[in-house]
Chain A
Amino acid sequence: MSSLSSSPAGKRDIVALEGVTKRFPGIVANDGIDLSIRPGEVHVLLGENGAGKSTLIGMLSGLLQPDEGRILVDGKPTPITSPRHALALGIGTVFQHMMLVPTLTVAENLLLGGPWWQRPRTEELAARVAEITRSLGITVKLHAKVSELSLGEQQQVEILRAMVRNSRLLILDESTSMLTPKGIEELGALMRRLAEKGLAIVFITHKLKEAAAFGDRISVLKLGRKVGEIPPERFRALGEQEIISEIVELMFGKRKDDPEAAQRPTRTIRADAAPLLQVADLSVAPTDNAPGLSSISFDIRPGEILGIAGIDGNGQKQLAEALAGQRAATRGSVRLEGTAIEAASVGERRKQGLRYLTDDRLGEGTVGTFPVSINFFLKQVGAAPFWRGGVEQRAEIDRRAAELVREYDVRTPSLKTPVARLSGGNIQKVLLARELAEGAKVVIFNKPTYGLDLANTLASRQRIRDTAARGLAVLLISTDLEELLSMCDRIAVIANGALVGTVGNTDDARTKVGRLMIGLAA
Chain B
Amino acid sequence: MSIDTAPTASATALDPTSGAATRRDILRRLLMTLGPILVALVIAGCILLAVGVDPLAYYGYVLEKGLFSPLGIQQTLTRMAPLLFLAAGLIVAFRAGMWNLGGDGQFLLGAVTAAASAPVLVQVMPGWLALICSFLIAMVVAMIWSLVPALLRAYQGVNEIITTLMMTFLGTSLANVLVKLVFRDPGTTVPQTRTLPVDERLPRLFDTTITSGLLLGLAAIIIVHLVMTRTAFGLKLRIVGANPRAAVHAGLGVPGLTIAVFAISAGLAGLAGAVDIIGVQGNVRADWNPAYGLAVIPAVFLARMNGFAAIGFVFLLSVLSIGGESAARRLGVPNHFTLVLVSIVLIVLALAEYVDHRYNQSRKA
A contact residues vs B (CB 8 Å cutoff)? 324-326, 345-350, 356, 358, 360, 363-371, 374, 378-379, 381-382, 387, 390-392, 394, 414, 416, 418
Smallest CB-CB A-B distances: 6 pairs: A347-B251, A346-B251, A382-B232, A364-B245, A364-B249, A387-B232
Please name the residue on chain B nearest to A368 by beta carbon: B243
Q: Given the complex, which residues of A lie within 8 Å of B248, measured CB to CB?
A: 326, 346, 364
Q: Report if B231 contacts A (CB, 8 A).
A: yes
Q: A326-B249, A364-B243 are in contact. Are A381 and B232 (CB under 8 A)?
A: yes
CB pair A367 B246 closer than 8 Å = yes
Give CA–CA (A150, B325) in the complex, Å: 61
CB-CB < 8 A to B232: which residues of A? 381-382, 387, 390-392
Alpha-carbon distance between A358 and B242 when the two chains are bound, in angstroms? 18
**Chain A positions within 8 Å of B239 at CB level:** 367, 370, 378, 381
Question: Known contacts being A350-B251, A364-B248, is A416 close to B11, with CB within 8 Å?
Answer: yes
Chain A residues lying within 8 Å of B11, measured Cβ to Cβ, are 370-371, 374, 416
**Binary contact track B226-246/A, C-beta < 8 Å → 1, others 0:** 000011110110110011011
Q: Which residue of A lies closest to B245 (CB)?
A: A364
A392 near B235 with CB under 8 A, answer yes
Q: Which residues of A contact B18 (CB under 8 A)?
A: 414, 416
The answer to whether A390 touches B233, judged by C-beta atoms less than 8 angstroms apart, is yes
B contact residues, total (Cβ < 8 Å):
27
Contact B242 A367 (CB under 8 A): yes
Min CB gap A401→B, angstroms: 12
> Given A371-B8, A416-B15: A346 and B235 within 8 A (CB)?
no
Among B18, B230, B236, residue most surrounded by chain A Cβ atoms (within 10 Å) = B230
Which chain A residue has the least Cβ–Cβ distance from B226? Answer: A391
Chain A residues near B12: list those with CB within 8 A: 371, 416
Give the most central of B5, B8, B15, B238: most A CB within 10 Å: B8
Report the bound CA distance from A409 to B138 in whole Å.
54
- When distances are taken between beta carbons in the complex, the residues of chain B under 8 Å from A349 are 251
Q: Of A356, A360, A370, A390, which one neighbours B8 at CB under 8 angstroms?
A: A370
Taking a contact as CB atoms under 8 Å apart, the answer to whether A391 and B245 are in contact is no
Chain A contacts for B235, CB-based, 8 A: 374, 381, 392
A371 to B235, CA, bound (A): 12
A109 to chain B, nearest CB (A): 30
Given contacts A369-B4, A370-B11, A416-B11, contact A391 B251 (CB under 8 A): no
Answer yes or no: B48 CB below 8 A from chain A CBs. Answer: no
- Please name all residues of chain A whose beta carbon is closer than 8 Å to the beta carbon of B51 when the two chains form the complex: none
Q: Is B250 an interface residue (CB 8 A)?
A: yes
A392, chain B: closest CB distance, angstroms: 5
Q: Is the CB of B249 within 8 A of A358?
A: yes
User: Nearest-CB distance from B246 to chain A (Å)?
Assistant: 5
Q: In the bound complex, what is the Cα–Cα distance between A347 and B8 (angstroms)?
A: 25
The complex places the Cα of A482 from the Cα of B74 at a distance, in Å, of 75
Whether B7 contacts A378 by the Cβ 8 Å rule is no
Q: A369 and B246 in contact (CB under 8 A), knowing A382-B232, A390-B233? A: no
The contact of A391 among B7, B15, B230, B243, by CB within 8 Å, is: B230
Q: B302 at interface (Cβ–Cβ under 8 A)?
A: no
Most buried by A among B231, B232, B245: B232
Residue of B nearest to A347 (CB): B251
Known pairs A387-B231, A392-B235 / 19 extra A-B pairs, C-beta < 8 Å? A324-B249, A346-B249, A348-B251, A364-B243, A366-B243, A367-B239, A369-B7, A370-B8, A370-B11, A370-B239, A371-B11, A371-B12, A374-B235, A378-B250, A381-B250, A387-B232, A391-B230, A391-B231, A394-B14
Residues from chain A with a CB closer than 8 A to the CB of B253 are 345
- What's the least CB distance linking B79 to chain A, in Å? 33
Considering the complex, give the chain B residue whose CB is closest to the CB of A382. B232
A76 to B226 alpha-carbon distance, docked (Å): 60
Shortest distance between the CB of B252 and any CB in chain A (Å): 7
A349 CA / B249 CA spacing, docked (Å): 12
Task: Report which residue of B15, B231, B251 has the largest number of chain A beta carbons within 10 angstroms of its beta carbon.
Answer: B251
Question: Which B residues form the contact surface with A (CB < 8 A)?
Answer: 4-5, 7-8, 11-12, 14-15, 18, 230-233, 235-236, 238-239, 242-243, 245-246, 248-253
CB of A477 to closest CB in B, whole Å: 16
Measured between C-beta atoms, what is the minimum distance from A461 to chain B in Å?
23
CB <8 Å contact, B249 and A370: no
Which residue of A has the minimal Cβ distance to B6?
A369
A159 to chain B, nearest CB (A): 36
10 contacts between A and B (CB under 8 A): A324-B249, A326-B249, A346-B250, A358-B249, A365-B249, A371-B11, A374-B11, A378-B246, A381-B250, A416-B15
Residues of B within 8 A of A347 (CB): 251-252
Residues of A within 8 A of B251 (CB): 325, 345-350, 379
B8 — which chain A residues lie within 8 A by C-beta? 369-371, 418
Output the residue of B15, B18, B242 with the most chain A CB within 10 A: B15
Complex: A346 Cα to B246 Cα, angstroms: 12
Chain B neighbourhood of A364, CB < 8 A:
243, 245-246, 248-249
Query: Interface centre among A324, A348, A370, A390, by most B CB within 10 Å?
Result: A370
The CA of A324 and the CA of B245, in the complex, are separated in Å by 14
Write the chain B residue with the least CB distance to A394. Answer: B14
B contact residues around A391 at 8 Å (CB): 230-232
> Known interface pairs A378-B250, A379-B250. Does A367 touch B230 (Cβ–Cβ under 8 Å)?
no
List the A side residues contacting B245 at CB < 8 Å. 360, 363-364
Q: How far is the CA of A370 from the CA of B253 in the complex (A)?
A: 20
Query: How far is it, in angstroms, between the C-alpha of A325 and the C-alpha of B248 when the chains are bound?
Result: 10
Query: Is B249 in contact with A390, judged by CB distance below 8 angstroms?
Result: no
* A430 CB, min distance to chain B CBs, angstroms: 13
B226 to chain A, nearest CB (A): 9
CA distance A368 to B232 in the complex (A): 18
* A233 CB, nearest partner CB in chain B, Å: 43
Measured between alpha carbons, how far is A348 from B251 in the docked complex, in Å?
Answer: 8
The answer to whether B7 and A381 have CB atoms under 8 Å apart is no
Residues from chain B with a CB closer than 8 A to the CB of A345 are 251, 253
Query: Chain B's nearest CB lies how many Å from the CB of A113?
Result: 27
The answer to whether B252 touches A369 (Cβ under 8 A) is: no
- B242 with A369: CB separation less than 8 A: yes
Are the CB atoms of A382 and B236 closer together than 8 Å?
yes
A363 CB to nearest B CB, Å: 6
A392–B249 touching, CB < 8 Å: no
CB distance from B261 to the nearest CB of A (A): 15
Nearest CB in chain B: distance from A361 CB, A:
10
- Asked if B246 and A365 sit within 8 Å, CB to CB, the answer is yes
- Distance of B339 from chain A, by nearest CB (Å): 32
* In the complex, chain B residues whose CB is within 8 Å of the CB of A365: 246, 249
Interface centre among A324, A345, A378 (most CB of B within 10 A): A378
CB neighbours (8 Å) of B243 from chain A are 363-364, 366-368
State A500–B327 Cα separation when bound (angstroms).
Answer: 79
Q: Which of B4, B14, B235, B236 has the most CB of A within 10 A?
A: B235
Report the separation of the CA atoms of residues A367 and B242 in the bound assembly, to the nearest whole angstrom.
7
Which interface residue of B18, B230, B243 has the most chain A CB atoms within 10 A? B243
On whether the beta carbons of A390 and B231 are closer than 8 Å, the reply is yes
**Given the complex of chains A and B, what is the CA–CA distance between A350 and B252 in angstroms?**
12
Whether B230 and A366, one on each chain, are in contact in the complex, defined by CB atoms closer than 8 angstroms, is no
A506 nearest CB across to chain B (Å): 36
